[in-house]
Amino acid sequence: MLTNASGGTYQLFGNGAGNGAFGFNIVGSTAGLTVTNLASEDGTGVASGFTFDSTGGNFDGWGDFELALQAGPASDAHDFVTFTVSRTAGFTSANDLFEANANGHYFAVHVAPTNGNPTGFATDGPAPPQVPEPASMILLGTGLAGLAGAVRKRRNSKKKQGE
């Protein structure tokens, strides 16, 4: 497999703790699974800057993945990574190499723009659901409470005028 971010716009990195550089699932069991031939522009194996993580992890809003490649911080990002996935039981087709997670994503890649902007993730599936921030919910609740108070005051005012 090749994950390529070259071209000068983005680079790959992973900050560890399950928020790795590349997350993916495979069809079927992960028993006997190995990832070999890791390579990047820095070299091969450990020198590539990437390590295989068989515990996977959560990729910040894109969901959990069974398997991951970990790498260093954004300051040590890479242009590309290549690797070979194999399993003792084998794969019947290339389609067995990727399976969607519960959020509908087949993979997620942790990217760092080369222009210094904040880092983020790229994925193949739908965007993660929008979650309103607490301050917006408080503002909405306060507005609704104020509206309810104004309506109540107006009703009370009309009742007093009618007496």
Query: How many CB atoms lie under 10 A from the CB of residue 72?
Result: 16
User: 20: pLDDT confidence band, cut at 50, 70 and 90?
Assistant: confident
* 132 vs 6, higher pLDDT: 132
Sketch the domain layout of the chain as residue ranges.
2-123, 133-163
Q: Which residues contact 36 (CB under 8 A, 6 or more apart)?
A: 83, 84, 86
Q: Is 38 exposed, middle or buried (0-12, 13-18, 19+ CB in 10 A)?
A: buried
Q: Which of 35, 47, 44, 151 is nearest to 83 (CA)?
A: 35
- Amino acid 8: pLDDT: 58
pLDDT at 117 over 60: yes
User: 118: pLDDT confidence band, cut at 50, 70 and 90?
Assistant: low
Sign of CA dihedral 40, 41, 47, 49: negative
Sign of CA dihedral 109, 66, 58, 101: positive
Kindly report, residue by residue over 37-61, the tens digit of the pLDDT: 988 888 888 778 888 888 888 887 7
CA 142 to chain centroid, in Å, comes to: 33
Kindly report, residue by residue over 93-109, the tens digit of the pLDDT: 888 888 899 988 888 88
pLDDT at 1 over 70: no
Paired sense of beta strands 22-24 and 120-123, if any: unpaired
